[in-house]
Structure 1
Amino acid sequence: MGPSPSEFIARGDFAALEGLYYRFQKTEDIIDLFGVLKTILDRYGSIGRMAQRFYRGNVRDMLWQVRRELLDEHEGLMFFFPKPSGANPLKRWNLYLRWMVRKDEIDAGLWDFIPTHRLIVPLDTHIFKIGRCVGWTKRSSPSWKAACEITEALRGFSPEDPLRYDFFLCHKVGIGAGCKGVRMPECAKRCALLMDLEQDERADDDRRMKNES
């Protein structure tokens, strides 16, 4: 690709990609993906301008528009860019939006047209297990609704930026602490999240008792 990926895409000569593959994605899929990126650059100038054109206050509706406009004819890319159905939590879509919208030491924050409170948590297996364990969702499998319920719970801690906790929960609690999604005796000493939540619950109980007395 050379020093400028955007120039490589704009030229449209993807012969250098022959033989590349990534997990379940074959060479044809990789070339298809770069073809879609070229279409985006040709039509809109950038991915951000394309997203801004389709965003009307709801990120899921925006993703539907992008999917219909650019990806419906590329079945090989369905694994990376699934249709926004109720059964799919759209982890990759939502993770990309987190990178592009939030701005801190982790996320780039290049887009300013989507408010951070509109983002939905990128629901992977770790966040789902944690959400089930602490009661943020009672659903039996990851889904869009489960992602929305967990996001709503996180809004209780940070209404304007609920995804500020996503990296910590996934990497420190989920991966780092090895959360199994089930409360066990050792969780009381190992899980920083559970300790904080239990402390908040005790404080709430104390306030209720004082109000009742």
Structure 2
Amino acid sequence: MTFEAVKKLLKEEALKRNHHEELSQDRPDPLMIASRYKDEFSSLICALFAYGNVSAIIQFLESLDFSLLDADEKTIEQTLSHHYYRFQNAKDIQALFITLARLKKNRSSLESIFLPAYQKESNVMDGLRALIAMLYDINPYRSRGYQFLLGTIPPTNPHSPYKRWHMYLRWMVRNDHLDLGLWQGVDTKDLLVPLDTHTFAVGKKLGLIQRKSYDFKAVLELSHTLQKIDPSDPVKYDFALYRLGQEKILF
């Protein structure tokens, strides 16, 4: 398939899928839950737990009471004492809610932590570095499950694709019938693709990615290629790529 043909396909798919019906019980996606609350804190929880089978993700997210983000820590611990999800036990889930509740109580927004670091060089990884570091600073709790959830503080040369975090940024920054557009200070041109196994496989199939390894360099390569299609909003095509892979349309 030529690049022009790929460009045409992605533009058509992005347009076709940019509607609310794309997020439903029949077509589940964690964004479906985040869209109910339209809140940066609830959305972050939805994004961080977005790994594994999508039906299991939705089932878990449906079991959560997001109003706990405004509750006291004892109530959080009691309410979530029997919750667990894959690599996270109840203490890990309690810790995440407590961390975000502390941040809300201090009248801080996630955007206000992300923006100053991002704006220095228009680099979203700098913003993520500041945000993830702040989340670790707020709560001294540590475990393998909790640290898997938040991820490592991004080093200068990351290896991980940081898929869940880039998906969160897509939700927060882009504003259409799918993404929430809750943040105002980040330019869509600076966003990076939330690379998962589906988008990686489709990207290689369409010739958008040459790299063999599923890593951060593949994220940069795909994002750079998509900038050739839309320099102002390359991540516009992420959801279409994801669905093309998930629905096995090209395979």
Instruction: Tell me if both proteins adopt one fold, taking TM over 0.5 as the criterion.
Output: yes
One-letter identity of the residue aligned with 2:73: G
Aligned to 1:24: 87
Q: Is the 8 A contact 1:21 1:27 kept in 2?
A: yes
One-letter identity of the residue aligned with 2:236: R
Alpha-carbon distance between aligned partners in 2 of 1:70 and 1:7, rounded to the nearest angstrom: 17
Is 2:128 the partner of 1:63?
yes
Q: Give me the identity figure in percent.
A: 36
Q: Is the 8 A contact 1:71 1:77 kept in 2?
A: no
Q: How many residues align?
A: 177
More RCO (CA 8 Å, sep 6+): 2
**Structure 1 segments of 4 or more deviating over 6 A?**
none
One-letter identity of the residue aligned with 1:104: D
Superposed CA deviations along residues 144-185 of structure 1, whole A, max 9, x for unmatched, are 1100110111111111001111111111x11123545xxxxx
1:154 pairs with one of 226, 230, 234: 226
TM-score by length of 1: 0.75
Cα 1:20–1:37 change in 2 (3 A) is same
Alpha-carbon distance between aligned partners in 1 of 2:82 and 2:68, rounded to the nearest angstrom: 18
Alpha-carbon distance between aligned partners in 2 of 1:77 and 1:2, rounded to the nearest angstrom: 19
* Aligned-residue RMSD, C-alpha: 2.0
Q: Where does 1:108-119 land on structure 2 (aligned, <5 Å)?
A: 108-119=180-191
Superposed CA deviations along residues 93-140 of structure 1, whole A, max 9, x for unmatched, are 000000000000100001011000110000000111122222222222
Alpha-carbon distance between aligned partners in 2 of 1:102 and 1:31, rounded to the nearest angstrom: 30
Q: Is the 8 A contact 1:44 1:50 kept in 2?
A: no
One-letter identity of the residue aligned with 1:155: Q
Is 2:199 the partner of 1:127?
yes
Is 2:147 the partner of 1:82?
no
Long gaps (5+) in structure 1: 181-213
2:98 pairs with one of 35, 38, 41: 35
1:12 pairs with one of 73, 83, 100: 73
Structure with the greater alpha carbon radius of gyration: 1
TM-score by length of 2: 0.65
Q: Is the 8 A contact 1:117 1:162 kept in 2?
A: yes
Cα 1:179–1:80 change in 2 (3 A) is farther
Long gaps (5+) in structure 2: 1-63
Superposed CA deviations along residues 32-59 of structure 1, whole A, max 9, x for unmatched, are 1012102321334322223234332211
